[in-house]
Structure 1
Amino acid sequence: MNRILQIVALTAGLFVAGAAQAQDEVPVEIGYLPILPDAQLFVSLENGAFAKAGIKPDLVEFQEGPAMVQALLSGQLDAAYFGIGPAMVASARGADIKVVASNIVEQISFIAVGDLAGFAADGVKKQTFADFAAKYGRKAKISTFPTGSVPDTVLKYWLTKQLGASVGDIDIIHQGAAQVQQALLTGAVDGAAILEPAVSLALSRDADATVLASGSEMFLGQPGAVLAVRGALIKEHPELVEAMVAAQRDATEALRDKAPGAAEAVAKYVGGGRLPLDVVRKALERSRQSFVADPNKIVEGTVAMRDFQKAQGTLREDVDVEKLIDTSFYDRLTAADGQEAPAEPEAAAQ
């Protein structure tokens, strides 16, 4: 066979192989928030785990959990990387979803800027916010995610359960992720209950910014973002769900071990890919021990969060947490390869 025929044959072979691979790929519509707690998704997209498993991701970006809830209720999305709070709401309202993996725990921080940072420099106590209002003639403006979200719930839990204060002591402003970050950086608010990398970004740009509470200080064992999949995907393609859970575990280990390329993968998606890589690296380092994939580790915390949200009135319907969280995929995965579940996370270094 001459050189030209060899090239033609090789090209034809590659085309056939590529076509077969394309036919084998299954489109999976994935909703996500461009936030650091969804880091495992970004690592899995960039390290080839999804492609290797035959998953063709159709990404849909959202700015807040409630919009993802509506998408799930309307029949959109095969999978969603979002907070456990919205996941409970979606399930309670009839969405056929299962949480098959955790992303992160104890990831919320309360950061203060401006007058509040100086006023509470010695720490936050029961009377801090009431005293602030008395001194400045106004309540402290605190930005966080929409009502019922994980950051909103953790903020209220911290105020009432940990401090013994009242939610009415502050003026809560509910916003999307990008808006919370902007409000904090421009000084439009006095503080925020927020996720990384907004915390690291604020600390890098404002010398007076102060983290007043974080992680277990706000809500011990608090579950955060999760991977939820629609029941139809489990029924029709259980092998893809298993592959997504495997990718989740591998990506979690990569993030905890600071594997090469992990930070770059996260930086490509978080904040629309506009954040400096060094800020993303700092945010990942501060969150490293909070990345947890095992869904068994968030059952107890999810029950506590559900009970608190019901008492607050932000979750009106009942949620069976044990039915919502399906640990079977993760359990089979660890049993199959004899790998022990990661150790309990240490409190994130804030």
Structure 2
Amino acid sequence: MKHTAARLLLGALALLLAAAFPADRSRSEVTLEMAYMPIVPCSQLFVMEGMGWTKKAGINLKLTRFPNGPAIVQAIASGKMDMMCFGIGPAMVTRAKGVKLKVVAAGIVEQIAVIAQGDLVKYFEKYKGAEALRKFAADKGRKPKIASFPKGSVPDTVTRHWLLRQLKMDLDEVELIGMGAARVQQALLSRSVDAAGILEPILTIVEEKLKGAKVIARADEMMPNQPGSTIAVREEVLAKHRDAIVKFVELHIKATELLRSDPAKAAPYVKEFISKGLLETKLVEKALRSPSSNFRADPNSILESTKYMHDFQKSEKIKTNVSIDGLFDLTVYRDAVKNLKK
């Protein structure tokens, strides 16, 4: 009887200890609030989450979807979000606002292209660059309407660079309209705008669904080596959870390699995030194979192009408040690469 009572007591004590000290994975799990946009340049995140890599690594991401980078900047400025997948442009704006954050990984480069629809396509088939836009305006009696993300975003900045530096035009020769991703796509499909400086999957969706739509300028014609999406973290979060952030970047590198080597395998997971499963997997795979989907993880590879974009934004007063001072932490990527080689 005494032995039975002792066993019961030990069993109860074991249950209490299990409740007080959960399994190692639970004890080490880190919860982070992360902002993202439903676009191909954030595909690494979608692969990591969809394949369960983050959960397995003890990283519990609370994801919040935003329509564009400037909207994420507003959320960060109000004290929300620990991490974010957004463009280098908004990252510079956030840093300039006094928010302490670090870019720890790149996501994609040369991801912006200009897609046109309707009569504007015909003008670009007959004329080149600025001449096509000016002939269109002269014949139609109105400026070409070109959509993009809001002012200061990467798509907007690259589109302005194309017009100002590559085509040598004045901005008042076109009507540049800033809006969120879903609205850009809708504006093109409804033929409310003539063109858009935009990214995937919108480029592929519009080409597939809108008869006569065509890409009229690729990234290398707009701003060669343009930096795109990044992974950024608040400095206090990085200091507190550095091991988890390094692990996150390890997974980000792994996801980048998968996107580059096997888009077909990645496509179902990307589809769930960018369209909530509504797009066909084959269409998403096509977007991942697009000339505008140049996935890259190494932040060292975008240092020079980020400086160029920063200087352009400053000179053209696209965003008078942008900063690259202390923007990058290259040690996280360095340590992630070291860990992957072990």
Give the structure-1-normalised TM-score: 0.88
Cα–Cα, structure 1 residues 259 and 110, in superposed 2: closer, same or farther, change >3 Å?
closer
RMSD: 2.2
Residues 1:102 and 2:101 aligned together: no
User: Deviations 1:86-114 (Å, cap 9, x if unpaired)?
Assistant: 11000000111100000000000101101
Given that 1:99 and 1:326 are in contact with CA atoms closer than 8 Å, whether structure 2 keeps it comes out as yes
Distance 1:186 1:132, change over 3 A: same
Question: Match of 2:63?
Answer: 59
Matched, 1:333 2:336: yes
CA contact (8 A) 1:178 1:271 kept: no
Tell whether the 8 Å contact from 2:219 to 2:292 is kept in structure 1 after alignment: no
Report Cα offsets for 1:102-134 as digits up to 9, x if no partner.
000000010110111111124532322122111
Moved more, 297-306 or 253-262: 253-262
Secondary structure of the structure 2 residue equivalent to 1:127: helix
Residue from 224, 227, 235 that aligns with 1:223: 227
Contact 1:88 1:319 in 2 (8 A): yes
Does structure 1 residue 178 correspond to structure 2 residue 171?
A: no
- For the residue of structure 1 that corresponds to 2:102, the secondary structure is strand
Q: 1 CA distance for matches of 2:129 and 2:114?
A: 13
Contact 1:296–1:327 under 8 Å retained in 2: yes
Aligned residues of 2:268 and 2:281 also touching (Cα < 8 A): yes
Counterparts of 1:291 and 1:16, CA distance in 2: 43
Residue number in structure 2 paired with 1:87: 91
Closer, same or farther in 2 for the Cα pair 1:229/1:281, shift >3 Å? same
Instruction: Quickly say closer, same or farther: Cα 1:111–1:96, change in 2 above 3 A.
Output: same
Q: Secondary structure at the match of 2:43?
A: helix
1:25 lines up with 2:29 in the alignment? yes
Aligned partners of 1:255 and 1:288 also within 8 Å: no
Moved over 6 A (4+): 14-18
Partner residue, 1:244: 248
8 Å CA contact 2:123, 2:133 repeated in 1: no
Q: Structure 2 unaligned runs (5+)? A: 1-14
Aligned to 1:35: 39
Are 1:273 and 2:277 an aligned pair?
A: yes
Q: State the alpha-carbon separation in 2 of the partners of residues 260 and 188 from structure 1.
A: 33
Aligned pairs, how many?
Answer: 328
Q: Spell out, residue by residue over 1:282-308, the C-alpha distance to the aligned partner (whole angstroms, 9 max, x if none).
A: 000115861000000101110010011
CA contact (8 A) 1:124 1:212 kept: no
Larger displacement relative to structure 2 (19-28 or 231-240): 19-28
Corresponding position: 1:200 with 2:204: yes
Rg larger in 1 or in 2? 2
Against the structure 1 CA distance between its residues 96 and 121, is the aligned structure 2 distance closer, same or farther, given a 3 Å change threshold?
Answer: same
- Please list every run of 5 or more consecutive structure 1 residues that lacks an aligned counterpart in the other structure: 1-10, 340-350
Displacement after TM superposition at 1:70 (Å)? 1.3
- Give the partner amino acid of 1:153: T
Identical columns (%): 41
Per-residue CA shift, 1:225-257, capped at 9, x if unaligned? 100011111110100110111111000000000
1:77 corresponds to: 81
Letter of the 1:223 counterpart:
P
1:270 match: secondary structure: helix
The alignment's TM-score, normalised by the length of structure 2, stands at 0.90
Question: Deviations 1:291-338 (Å, cap 9, x if unpaired)?
Answer: 0000001011100100111112122125135x2011111122324555
**Secondary structure at the counterpart of residue 94 of structure 1:** coil
Distance 2:291 2:33 in 1: 27
Q: Determine which of 143, 150, 161 is the counterpart of 1:146.
A: 150
Structure 1 CA distance for aligned equivalents of residues 130 and 38 of structure 2: 34
Cα deviation digits, residues 69-98 of structure 1 (max 9, x gap): 111112111100001111100000011110
Q: Does 1:319 align with 2:323?
A: yes
| In 2, Cα distance between equivalents of 1:107 and 1:324 | 21
Q: CA deviation at 1:210?
A: 1.1
Most deviating of 66-75 and 286-295 = 286-295
